[in-house]
Amino acid sequence: MIPRAVPLDVAVTTKAGVTVVTPAGMLDVATAPHLRDVLLKCIADQPDAVVVDLDLLELRKAYTLSVFTVVARRTADWSGVPLILVSGPHGSSRLQLHSKAISRFLPVYDDLQRALEAARNPPPRRVTRLRLPPQPQSAATARQLTITTCELWGCPEFADDAAAVATELLANAILHAATDSELRLELRRGLLSVALTDSGPGAPVLREPADALRVGGFGLRIVDSIAATWGWAPRSDGSKVVWAVLRGRPVRRPGRRASGE
C-alpha cells in the first residue's frame, strides 16, 4: 500500500523588513522542492534577512534538511540576504538534533526572537537601489550611478565592468520587458553584484553567436563575457531579477609598474 502524501504548507510573513517563512507539515523528497522554490523567491525579493521557523515542521529523512544548504549555495554568489533557521522550542528532538548539524553551514537559533535580533544585525555590506523607467536615457542614468557608487565605495576597479553590465541589463529589460526596473548594487566580501528587477514575462535568454541575423538581444552575452557568474531568479510577486557578480581587478596607478614588468 502506497502511503498517502502529507502536504507541506508554507506561510510567509514580514516583520520589520525580515521575511519569516513557516513551513508546516512533512518535509520529504516530494515537498522539499516546493519549500526550496519559496525560499529562493523570498531571497530574490531582497529583504533584510529570511528567517525559517522550523517549529511546525515534521522530518521524514534527515537528508531533506539539505534543502536549506542548497538554497544558501545557490544564492551565496549574488545575494547578501542571510538565511537563518529557528529550530523552535516545540520541534521534535530529532529535528532539533539534525538542524544543529546544519549550524556548521547556516546560523540556527533556538527561538524566533533571537533569530530576528540576529537578522537585524547582518554581516557588513553596502547596498544602493534606483528605480528606472523603461526609457533609453535610463541607461545613461544607470551607468552614471554605477560609476559614482564604485567611487564612493572605494572600489574603482569595478567601475568600468559594473557600468557595462548595468547598461546591458537595463537595455535588455527595456527591449524585452518594457516595464519599470530597479537597479541594485551590492558590495560585500570583495565582490560586487549588479542586479536588475523587472516585471516582464519569460526568462532571459543567452543568444548564440550563430543568431547573427537577429537584431539586438546580445546584451546578456556581453554580461556573460564580463561577469564571474550571472543568473536570474523569479520573485514572489511574479517579477524577476537578473544578476551578475564581478570580482575586482587591480587598478594600475600612474608611475607604477605591474607585477612582472
Tens of pLDDT, residues 82-137: 999 998 766 555 566 676 678 888 999 988 999 999 998 877 789 999 999 999 89
List, in order, residues 6 or more apart from 79 with CB less than 8 Å away. 43, 44, 46, 186, 193, 243
Amino acid type, 235 = R
Q: Examine the domain organization and report whether 107 and 130 are in the same domain.
A: no
Same domain, 147 and 224: yes
Residue 55: give the domain boundaries: 8-119
Within a domain: 202: yes
User: Which stretches of 103-239 are assigned E, i.e. beta strand?
Assistant: 108-109, 126-132, 181-188, 191-198, 229-234
Per residue in 212-226, pLDDT tens? Answer: 445 445 678 899 999
pLDDT of residue 204: 85
Q: What is the CATH number of the domain that holds 102?
A: 3.30.750.24
User: What's the distance, Cα to Cα, between the start and end of the chain in Å?
Assistant: 74
Q: What is the pLDDT of residue 175?
A: 87
Q: Is residue 65 domain-resident?
A: yes
pLDDT value for 182: 96
Q: What are the φ/ψ torsions at residue 53 (nearest 5 degrees)?
A: -90, 115
pLDDT score, position 201: 85
Domain count within the chain = 2
* 119, 139, 154 - which closes a domain: 119
Q: Which of 73, 88, 119 is the last residue of a domain?
A: 119
* Same-domain status, 178 and 211: yes
Does 179 share its domain with 234? yes
Helix, strand, or coil here: 61?
coil
Alpha carbon separation from 179 to 48, 163, 193 (Å, rounded) = 25, 21, 22
Question: What gap in Å lies between CA 136 and CA 152, rounded to an integer?
Answer: 25
Asked if 243 and 160 sit in the same domain, the reply is yes
The predicted pLDDT at position 219 comes to 77
Confidence at residue 104, expressed as pLDDT on a 0 to 100 scale: 83
Cβ burial 130-149 (10 Å sphere, 16+ → b, else e): bebebeeebbebbbebbbeb
**139 and 225 fall within a common domain:** yes
Question: Do 54 and 137 share a domain, yes or no?
Answer: no
Q: Is residue 261 part of a domain?
A: no
Helices 159-176, 137-152: inter-axial angle, 10-degree rounding: 150
Tens of pLDDT along the chain (261 residues) come to: 444 555 899 999 999 999 999 999 999 999 999 999 999 999 999 999 999 999 899 888 888 889 999 999 999 888 889 999 998 766 555 566 676 678 888 999 988 999 999 998 877 789 999 999 999 899 999 999 999 999 999 999 999 999 999 999 999 899 888 899 999 999 988 899 999 999 988 888 887 665 544 544 567 889 999 999 999 999 999 999 999 999 976 544 444 333 333
- Burial of 18 from C-beta contacts in 10 A (0-12 / 13-18 / 19+): buried
Pairwise CA distance, residues 81 & 122, whole Å: 8
AA letter at 229: T
What does pTM read for this prediction? 0.80
